[in-house]
Structure 1
Amino acid sequence: MSILFLVIIGAAAGFIATRLMGIEAGIIPTISIGICGALLGGLVLRFLLVLTGAAAGLVGAVLGAILLLALWRWGTRR
């Protein structure tokens, strides 16, 4: 899975993750979190699984974005 593919999936994953976490964020933070989450999740899944390509990338992107959003929420509460 290429980095460009993870960036594209990350934009969608950021939107999905913010909605799942109930966080209202602007477009730029949503896309940024999604892209970072996609890169993180995609790389982790690459090491753990060899699945069906796009499905694994989307799942990893959403999970990575949710993890980053949870950390962001935890950091902003302080």
Structure 2
Amino acid sequence: MTHPELGEITGTKDKDYDLIWFAETCLRNVLRLEVYIADAEREGDQELAELFRKAQHESRKGAEQAKALLAARLAS
């Protein structure tokens, strides 16, 4: 049976790990979407490029929010 990680193994509680994971995932999405935007633009599909730009903006926003929350928690 798997037990939830409560910080005893990694030294990081689930909620803190989740916040770090979320920030990293958002940042990876920003980078990945840059490739998708370039692919769409290369094919002349501006509608698709714009969709990816919007998604990239939201991922960047999520990363910034997560980084700010993480910084505040680390400072306390």
Q: Smaller-chain TM-score range?
A: 0.3 to 0.5
The structure with more helix, counted as a fraction of residues: 1
| Higher normalized contact order (CA 8 Å, seq sep 6+, divided by chain length) | 1
Normalising by structure 2, report the TM-score: 0.39
Q: Of the two, which has the highest radius of gyration?
A: 2
